[in-house]
Chains A and B, each alone.
Chain A
Amino acid sequence: MTAPISGALREVTTTATGLVGGAGNYWDAANQNAQLKRDRAALMRRMVEARGILEENQQLKAALQLREHNREAVAAGRVVGSSFESSRRFAIISVGSSEGVQVGMPVRAAEGLIGRVIDAGSIASRVLLVTDRANIVPARILRGGQPVISTGRGDGTIDVRPLEVGKNPFKPGDVIVTSGTGGLYPPLVPIGKVIRLDDDGAIALPIADPSRVSFAIVEPPFEPTALAAAAESASEGP
Protein backbone atom coordinates (compact mmCIF):
# COMPACT_ATOMS: atom_id res chain seq x y z
CA MET A 1 0.00 0.00 0.00
CA THR A 2 2.79 2.40 0.87
CA ALA A 3 4.89 1.44 -2.14
CA PRO A 4 4.11 4.72 -4.05
CA ILE A 5 5.29 6.85 -1.14
CA SER A 6 8.39 4.73 -0.63
CA GLY A 7 9.03 4.96 -4.37
CA ALA A 8 9.00 8.74 -4.34
CA LEU A 9 11.28 8.93 -1.30
CA ARG A 10 13.57 6.39 -2.91
CA GLU A 11 14.10 8.77 -5.83
CA VAL A 12 15.29 11.44 -3.42
CA THR A 13 17.79 9.16 -1.67
CA THR A 14 19.09 7.84 -5.01
CA THR A 15 19.66 11.40 -6.22
CA ALA A 16 21.45 12.33 -3.00
CA THR A 17 23.80 9.33 -3.08
CA GLY A 18 24.38 9.95 -6.79
CA LEU A 19 25.43 13.56 -6.08
CA VAL A 20 27.95 12.46 -3.44
CA GLY A 21 29.42 9.81 -5.74
CA GLY A 22 29.47 12.24 -8.67
CA ALA A 23 31.43 14.87 -6.76
CA GLY A 24 34.06 12.28 -5.87
CA ASN A 25 34.51 11.40 -9.54
CA TYR A 26 35.62 14.94 -10.42
CA TRP A 27 38.70 14.70 -8.23
CA ASP A 28 40.25 12.10 -10.38
CA ALA A 29 38.88 13.06 -13.80
CA ALA A 30 42.12 13.06 -15.82
CA ASN A 31 43.27 9.68 -14.57
CA GLN A 32 39.81 8.25 -14.99
CA ASN A 33 39.68 9.56 -18.53
CA ALA A 34 42.92 7.86 -19.52
CA GLN A 35 41.84 4.67 -17.76
CA LEU A 36 38.48 4.72 -19.51
CA LYS A 37 40.12 5.20 -22.91
CA ARG A 38 42.33 2.19 -22.29
CA ASP A 39 39.33 0.17 -21.13
CA ARG A 40 37.35 1.24 -24.15
CA ALA A 41 40.06 0.10 -26.55
CA ALA A 42 40.24 -3.23 -24.75
CA LEU A 43 36.48 -3.59 -24.82
CA MET A 44 36.36 -2.83 -28.54
CA ARG A 45 38.76 -5.69 -29.19
CA ARG A 46 36.73 -7.89 -26.87
CA MET A 47 33.51 -6.92 -28.66
CA VAL A 48 34.85 -7.86 -32.06
CA GLU A 49 35.89 -11.21 -30.67
CA ALA A 50 32.48 -11.65 -29.08
CA ARG A 51 30.72 -10.87 -32.32
CA GLY A 52 32.78 -13.49 -34.04
CA ILE A 53 31.89 -16.00 -31.37
CA LEU A 54 28.22 -15.03 -31.56
CA GLU A 55 28.14 -15.70 -35.29
CA GLU A 56 29.89 -18.98 -34.86
CA ASN A 57 27.43 -19.84 -32.10
CA GLN A 58 24.47 -19.07 -34.34
CA GLN A 59 25.86 -21.26 -37.07
CA LEU A 60 26.44 -24.12 -34.66
CA LYS A 61 22.95 -23.71 -33.15
CA ALA A 62 21.43 -23.69 -36.60
CA ALA A 63 23.31 -26.88 -37.26
CA LEU A 64 21.91 -28.38 -34.06
CA GLN A 65 18.40 -26.98 -34.72
CA LEU A 66 18.16 -25.56 -31.19
CA ARG A 67 15.08 -23.49 -30.63
CA GLU A 68 15.34 -20.39 -28.51
CA HIS A 69 12.17 -18.46 -27.81
CA ASN A 70 12.26 -14.73 -27.35
CA ARG A 71 11.93 -13.70 -23.73
CA GLU A 72 9.85 -10.72 -22.82
CA ALA A 73 9.87 -9.03 -19.44
CA VAL A 74 6.68 -9.39 -17.38
CA ALA A 75 7.01 -6.03 -15.67
CA ALA A 76 9.60 -3.48 -14.63
CA GLY A 77 9.50 -1.65 -11.32
CA ARG A 78 11.65 0.10 -8.81
CA VAL A 79 13.26 -1.33 -5.71
CA VAL A 80 11.44 0.69 -3.04
CA GLY A 81 12.48 -0.91 0.20
CA SER A 82 14.21 -3.75 1.95
CA SER A 83 14.11 -5.77 5.16
CA PHE A 84 16.74 -3.64 6.84
CA GLU A 85 15.49 -4.63 10.32
CA SER A 86 15.74 -8.36 9.80
CA SER A 87 18.51 -10.85 9.16
CA ARG A 88 16.63 -12.08 6.08
CA ARG A 89 17.44 -10.26 2.86
CA PHE A 90 14.26 -9.19 1.11
CA ALA A 91 13.54 -6.26 -1.15
CA ILE A 92 10.21 -4.72 -2.07
CA ILE A 93 9.61 -3.86 -5.71
CA SER A 94 6.84 -1.60 -6.96
CA VAL A 95 5.13 -4.08 -9.29
CA GLY A 96 2.68 -6.76 -8.27
CA SER A 97 0.18 -9.28 -9.49
CA SER A 98 -1.85 -6.60 -11.29
CA GLU A 99 1.08 -6.31 -13.70
CA GLY A 100 1.31 -10.08 -14.02
CA VAL A 101 3.98 -10.79 -11.42
CA GLN A 102 3.71 -14.28 -9.95
CA VAL A 103 5.48 -16.02 -7.10
CA GLY A 104 8.70 -17.65 -8.27
CA MET A 105 9.51 -15.34 -11.16
CA PRO A 106 13.15 -14.29 -11.46
CA VAL A 107 13.96 -10.62 -10.96
CA ARG A 108 16.95 -8.97 -12.56
CA ALA A 109 18.35 -5.57 -13.30
CA ALA A 110 20.27 -4.50 -16.36
CA GLU A 111 23.47 -5.25 -14.43
CA GLY A 112 22.62 -8.70 -13.19
CA LEU A 113 20.41 -10.97 -11.13
CA ILE A 114 18.58 -9.55 -8.10
CA GLY A 115 16.58 -12.54 -6.88
CA ARG A 116 13.18 -14.09 -7.22
CA VAL A 117 9.64 -13.14 -6.21
CA ILE A 118 8.43 -14.89 -3.07
CA ASP A 119 5.32 -12.79 -2.32
CA ALA A 120 3.21 -11.01 -4.89
CA GLY A 121 0.78 -8.37 -3.67
CA SER A 122 -1.43 -6.48 -6.07
CA ILE A 123 0.83 -3.43 -6.47
CA ALA A 124 4.07 -4.52 -4.82
CA SER A 125 5.96 -7.73 -4.33
CA ARG A 126 8.63 -9.10 -2.06
CA VAL A 127 11.83 -10.35 -3.64
CA LEU A 128 14.18 -12.89 -2.07
CA LEU A 129 17.58 -11.39 -2.86
CA VAL A 130 20.50 -13.50 -4.07
CA THR A 131 22.29 -12.43 -0.86
CA ASP A 132 19.69 -14.18 1.33
CA ARG A 133 20.85 -17.39 2.92
CA ALA A 134 17.83 -19.29 1.62
CA ASN A 135 18.36 -18.32 -2.01
CA ILE A 136 20.34 -20.99 -3.80
CA VAL A 137 21.13 -20.28 -7.44
CA PRO A 138 22.64 -22.82 -9.83
CA ALA A 139 25.49 -20.97 -11.49
CA ARG A 140 28.77 -21.33 -13.28
CA ILE A 141 32.02 -19.48 -13.61
CA LEU A 142 32.00 -17.41 -16.78
CA ARG A 143 35.63 -18.26 -17.42
CA GLY A 144 35.76 -21.97 -18.09
CA GLY A 145 32.09 -22.69 -17.39
CA GLN A 146 32.57 -24.87 -14.31
CA PRO A 147 29.25 -25.42 -12.51
CA VAL A 148 28.99 -23.85 -9.06
CA ILE A 149 26.29 -23.22 -6.47
CA SER A 150 25.68 -19.70 -5.23
CA THR A 151 24.17 -19.09 -1.77
CA GLY A 152 23.66 -15.78 -0.01
CA ARG A 153 25.53 -15.07 3.20
CA GLY A 154 23.05 -12.62 4.67
CA ASP A 155 25.53 -9.72 4.87
CA GLY A 156 25.44 -8.52 1.28
CA THR A 157 27.86 -11.07 -0.10
CA ILE A 158 27.44 -14.40 -1.82
CA ASP A 159 29.04 -17.73 -1.06
CA VAL A 160 30.00 -19.74 -4.17
CA ARG A 161 31.07 -23.38 -4.08
CA PRO A 162 31.99 -25.69 -6.91
CA LEU A 163 29.72 -28.69 -7.52
CA GLU A 164 32.68 -30.99 -7.96
CA VAL A 165 35.11 -31.41 -5.13
CA GLY A 166 38.68 -30.77 -6.06
CA LYS A 167 40.98 -27.89 -6.62
CA ASN A 168 39.46 -24.50 -5.84
CA PRO A 169 38.48 -23.28 -9.31
CA PHE A 170 37.95 -19.63 -8.39
CA LYS A 171 40.22 -16.67 -8.92
CA PRO A 172 39.60 -13.21 -7.54
CA GLY A 173 37.77 -11.22 -10.21
CA ASP A 174 35.92 -14.20 -11.67
CA VAL A 175 32.39 -13.42 -12.80
CA ILE A 176 29.70 -15.86 -11.70
CA VAL A 177 26.70 -16.20 -14.02
CA THR A 178 23.53 -18.23 -13.79
CA SER A 179 23.66 -21.58 -15.53
CA GLY A 180 19.96 -21.97 -16.27
CA THR A 181 19.91 -25.37 -14.54
CA GLY A 182 16.57 -26.03 -12.90
CA GLY A 183 14.78 -23.81 -15.37
CA LEU A 184 13.89 -20.94 -13.05
CA TYR A 185 16.65 -18.44 -13.75
CA PRO A 186 17.59 -17.69 -17.34
CA PRO A 187 21.17 -18.64 -18.18
CA LEU A 188 24.07 -16.19 -18.46
CA VAL A 189 22.74 -13.53 -16.11
CA PRO A 190 25.65 -12.15 -14.06
CA ILE A 191 25.30 -12.83 -10.32
CA GLY A 192 28.52 -11.75 -8.67
CA LYS A 193 32.21 -11.15 -8.85
CA VAL A 194 34.63 -13.17 -6.72
CA ILE A 195 36.47 -11.00 -4.21
CA ARG A 196 38.04 -13.52 -1.85
CA LEU A 197 38.80 -17.23 -1.80
CA ASP A 198 38.16 -19.43 1.20
CA ASP A 199 39.16 -23.06 1.68
CA ASP A 200 37.05 -24.78 -0.98
CA GLY A 201 34.92 -21.98 -2.38
CA ALA A 202 34.90 -18.25 -2.65
CA ILE A 203 33.02 -15.15 -1.56
CA ALA A 204 31.53 -12.93 -4.23
CA LEU A 205 29.97 -9.48 -4.30
CA PRO A 206 26.66 -9.21 -6.15
CA ILE A 207 26.99 -7.31 -9.41
CA ALA A 208 23.48 -5.87 -9.27
CA ASP A 209 23.40 -3.95 -5.98
CA PRO A 210 19.69 -3.60 -5.11
CA SER A 211 20.33 -0.21 -3.52
CA ARG A 212 21.76 1.21 -6.74
CA VAL A 213 19.85 -0.39 -9.59
CA SER A 214 17.29 1.91 -11.17
CA PHE A 215 14.88 -0.73 -12.40
CA ALA A 216 14.09 -4.26 -11.39
CA ILE A 217 12.83 -6.32 -14.30
CA VAL A 218 10.56 -9.27 -13.55
CA GLU A 219 10.98 -12.00 -16.14
CA PRO A 220 8.99 -15.15 -16.75
CA PRO A 221 10.77 -18.28 -15.55
CA PHE A 222 13.13 -19.72 -18.11
CA GLU A 223 11.13 -22.92 -18.30
CA PRO A 224 7.44 -22.27 -17.54
CA THR A 225 7.08 -25.57 -15.68
CA ALA A 226 9.56 -24.29 -13.08
CA LEU A 227 6.99 -21.77 -11.86
CA ALA A 228 4.62 -24.45 -10.58
CA ALA A 229 7.44 -26.09 -8.66
CA ALA A 230 8.52 -22.75 -7.22
CA ALA A 231 4.97 -21.90 -6.12
CA GLU A 232 4.73 -25.26 -4.40
CA SER A 233 7.94 -24.78 -2.47
CA ALA A 234 6.96 -21.20 -1.60
CA SER A 235 3.66 -22.36 -0.07
CA GLU A 236 5.61 -24.71 2.17
CA GLY A 237 7.59 -21.78 3.50
CA PRO A 238 9.99 -19.20 2.12
Chain B
Amino acid sequence: MVRSALGPQGARLNKGPRVGADYIPAATVVAGSLLSLLPIVSATGWWPDFGLLMLLGWRLLRADAWPAWWAAPLGFVNDVIVGNPIGLSVAMWAAIMIALDILDRRTMWRDYWIEWAIATVVIALSEIAHWRVAGLLGAEVRFNISAGPAILVGVLTFPIAAFIATRLDRWRLGR
Protein backbone atom coordinates (compact mmCIF):
# COMPACT_ATOMS: atom_id res chain seq x y z
CA MET B 1 0.00 0.00 0.00
CA VAL B 2 1.26 3.39 -0.84
CA ARG B 3 2.05 5.38 2.26
CA SER B 4 -0.06 8.37 1.20
CA ALA B 5 -3.17 6.17 1.26
CA LEU B 6 -2.78 5.86 5.02
CA GLY B 7 -3.51 9.55 5.54
CA PRO B 8 -6.95 11.17 5.55
CA GLN B 9 -9.07 9.72 2.76
CA GLY B 10 -8.55 11.38 -0.57
CA ALA B 11 -6.21 14.00 0.80
CA ARG B 12 -3.10 12.95 -1.07
CA LEU B 13 -4.30 10.63 -3.77
CA ASN B 14 -4.27 11.66 -7.39
CA LYS B 15 -2.72 14.99 -6.58
CA GLY B 16 -0.14 16.25 -8.98
CA PRO B 17 0.78 19.24 -11.05
CA ARG B 18 -2.15 20.81 -12.88
CA VAL B 19 -2.38 20.75 -16.64
CA GLY B 20 -0.15 23.49 -18.02
CA ALA B 21 1.52 24.06 -14.67
CA ASP B 22 4.69 25.12 -16.48
CA TYR B 23 2.94 28.04 -18.10
CA ILE B 24 0.95 29.38 -15.14
CA PRO B 25 3.76 31.64 -13.79
CA ALA B 26 4.28 33.30 -17.17
CA ALA B 27 0.52 33.63 -17.61
CA THR B 28 0.18 35.45 -14.30
CA VAL B 29 2.92 37.89 -15.33
CA VAL B 30 0.98 38.63 -18.53
CA ALA B 31 -2.18 38.97 -16.42
CA GLY B 32 -0.31 41.49 -14.27
CA SER B 33 0.61 43.47 -17.38
CA LEU B 34 -3.03 43.31 -18.49
CA LEU B 35 -4.09 45.05 -15.24
CA SER B 36 -2.84 48.27 -16.81
CA LEU B 37 -5.90 48.12 -19.09
CA LEU B 38 -8.21 48.72 -16.14
CA PRO B 39 -10.32 51.81 -16.76
CA ILE B 40 -8.46 53.91 -14.21
CA VAL B 41 -7.83 57.46 -15.29
CA SER B 42 -5.27 58.78 -12.88
CA ALA B 43 -3.70 62.23 -12.73
CA THR B 44 -0.47 60.76 -11.41
CA GLY B 45 1.47 57.68 -12.44
CA TRP B 46 2.00 56.25 -8.99
CA TRP B 47 0.46 52.84 -9.53
CA PRO B 48 2.93 49.97 -9.38
CA ASP B 49 4.12 48.10 -12.43
CA PHE B 50 1.99 44.97 -11.86
CA GLY B 51 3.78 42.87 -14.50
CA LEU B 52 7.15 43.55 -12.87
CA LEU B 53 5.75 42.79 -9.40
CA MET B 54 4.46 39.39 -10.54
CA LEU B 55 7.76 38.66 -12.32
CA LEU B 56 9.66 39.46 -9.13
CA GLY B 57 7.22 37.53 -6.97
CA TRP B 58 7.73 34.37 -9.02
CA ARG B 59 11.46 34.79 -9.58
CA LEU B 60 12.17 35.31 -5.89
CA LEU B 61 9.97 32.35 -4.99
CA ARG B 62 11.75 29.93 -7.30
CA ALA B 63 14.49 30.08 -9.91
CA ASP B 64 12.80 27.57 -12.22
CA ALA B 65 9.45 29.31 -12.69
CA TRP B 66 10.32 29.73 -16.36
CA PRO B 67 13.45 29.52 -18.52
CA ALA B 68 15.44 32.74 -18.00
CA TRP B 69 15.09 33.82 -21.63
CA TRP B 70 11.31 34.05 -21.26
CA ALA B 71 11.85 37.38 -19.51
CA ALA B 72 12.52 38.99 -22.88
CA PRO B 73 9.22 37.99 -24.58
CA LEU B 74 7.35 38.67 -21.34
CA GLY B 75 8.93 42.12 -21.24
CA PHE B 76 7.93 42.67 -24.86
CA VAL B 77 4.32 41.76 -24.06
CA ASN B 78 4.45 44.17 -21.10
CA ASP B 79 5.80 46.97 -23.29
CA VAL B 80 3.10 46.47 -25.91
CA ILE B 81 0.26 46.30 -23.38
CA VAL B 82 1.37 49.05 -21.01
CA GLY B 83 2.59 51.38 -23.74
CA ASN B 84 6.19 51.79 -22.65
CA PRO B 85 8.83 52.49 -25.28
CA ILE B 86 9.25 49.07 -26.92
CA GLY B 87 12.35 47.36 -25.58
CA LEU B 88 12.47 49.05 -22.21
CA SER B 89 10.95 46.14 -20.28
CA VAL B 90 12.64 43.62 -22.59
CA ALA B 91 16.06 44.90 -21.60
CA MET B 92 15.18 45.55 -17.99
CA TRP B 93 13.42 42.25 -17.24
CA ALA B 94 16.19 40.25 -18.91
CA ALA B 95 18.74 42.19 -16.84
CA ILE B 96 16.73 41.49 -13.68
CA MET B 97 16.71 37.75 -14.39
CA ILE B 98 20.49 37.75 -14.92
CA ALA B 99 21.10 39.84 -11.81
CA LEU B 100 18.94 37.55 -9.68
CA ASP B 101 20.70 34.47 -11.07
CA ILE B 102 24.02 35.95 -10.00
CA LEU B 103 22.53 36.89 -6.65
CA ASP B 104 21.28 33.32 -6.14
CA ARG B 105 24.87 32.07 -6.35
CA ARG B 106 26.21 34.65 -3.95
CA THR B 107 23.66 34.68 -1.16
CA MET B 108 24.17 32.25 1.69
CA TRP B 109 20.59 32.16 2.92
CA ARG B 110 17.28 33.76 2.08
CA ASP B 111 14.42 34.85 4.21
CA TYR B 112 11.38 37.05 3.88
CA TRP B 113 13.17 40.31 4.72
CA ILE B 114 16.09 39.67 2.35
CA GLU B 115 13.63 38.97 -0.47
CA TRP B 116 11.75 42.16 0.27
CA ALA B 117 15.04 44.08 0.31
CA ILE B 118 16.01 42.60 -3.06
CA ALA B 119 12.58 43.48 -4.44
CA THR B 120 12.95 47.03 -3.11
CA VAL B 121 16.23 47.49 -4.92
CA VAL B 122 14.89 46.03 -8.18
CA ILE B 123 11.65 48.06 -8.10
CA ALA B 124 13.58 51.24 -7.31
CA LEU B 125 16.03 50.66 -10.16
CA SER B 126 13.19 49.90 -12.55
CA GLU B 127 11.20 53.03 -11.64
CA ILE B 128 14.34 55.16 -11.88
CA ALA B 129 15.03 53.68 -15.33
CA HIS B 130 11.45 54.52 -16.40
CA TRP B 131 11.89 58.02 -15.02
CA ARG B 132 15.19 58.54 -16.84
CA VAL B 133 13.79 57.21 -20.13
CA ALA B 134 10.79 59.54 -19.81
CA GLY B 135 13.26 62.36 -19.23
CA LEU B 136 15.21 61.44 -22.36
CA LEU B 137 11.97 61.45 -24.34
CA GLY B 138 11.29 65.04 -23.34
CA ALA B 139 9.25 64.58 -20.18
CA GLU B 140 11.57 65.51 -17.34
CA VAL B 141 9.51 65.54 -14.18
CA ARG B 142 10.75 66.04 -10.67
CA PHE B 143 11.76 62.81 -8.96
CA ASN B 144 9.69 63.35 -5.83
CA ILE B 145 6.42 63.73 -7.70
CA SER B 146 6.83 60.81 -10.11
CA ALA B 147 9.34 58.03 -9.47
CA GLY B 148 9.59 58.56 -5.71
CA PRO B 149 5.97 57.80 -4.80
CA ALA B 150 5.85 55.07 -7.46
CA ILE B 151 8.80 53.27 -5.80
CA LEU B 152 7.11 53.53 -2.41
CA VAL B 153 3.80 52.15 -3.70
CA GLY B 154 5.58 49.38 -5.63
CA VAL B 155 7.65 48.29 -2.62
CA LEU B 156 4.61 48.25 -0.37
CA THR B 157 2.52 46.21 -2.82
CA PHE B 158 5.26 43.67 -3.50
CA PRO B 159 4.23 41.41 -0.57
CA ILE B 160 0.79 41.03 -2.19
CA ALA B 161 2.38 39.90 -5.45
CA ALA B 162 4.67 37.53 -3.52
CA PHE B 163 1.66 36.10 -1.66
CA ILE B 164 -0.26 35.55 -4.91
CA ALA B 165 2.77 33.83 -6.45
CA THR B 166 3.17 31.56 -3.41
CA ARG B 167 -0.49 30.51 -3.34
CA LEU B 168 -0.58 29.96 -7.10
CA ASP B 169 2.61 27.90 -6.89
CA ARG B 170 1.03 25.56 -4.34
CA TRP B 171 -2.16 25.34 -6.36
CA ARG B 172 -0.44 24.64 -9.68
CA LEU B 173 1.75 21.90 -8.19
CA GLY B 174 -1.28 20.33 -6.51
CA ARG B 175 -0.03 20.64 -2.96
Contacts and interface: CB of A to CB of B under 8 A. Distances in A.
Contacts of A85: 36, 45, 47-50, 82
A134 B139 contact: yes
Given A6-B37, A86-B84, A211-B42, A155 B145 contact: yes
Interface stretch (B8-16, B99-107, B129-137, B167-175): B129-137
B49 to A, nearest CB: 5
Question: DSSP class of B's interface residues: helix, strand, loop or mixed?
Answer: loop
Nearest to A126: B83
A122 interface: no
B147 interface: yes
Interface string B27-50: 000000010111111111111111
Interface in B83-129: 83-84
* Interface size class, chain B: 20 to 34
Contacts of A133: 134, 138-141
* Interface size class, chain A: 35 or more
A131 B43 contact: yes
Contacts of B134: 86-88, 133
A166 interface: no
Closest 10 CB pairs of A and B: A156-B43, A154-B141, A133-B139, A10-B39, A211-B41, A87-B146, A84-B42, A134-B138, A155-B145, A134-B139
Interface of A: 2, 5-7, 9-10, 13, 79-91, 126, 131-134, 152-156, 209-211, 237-238
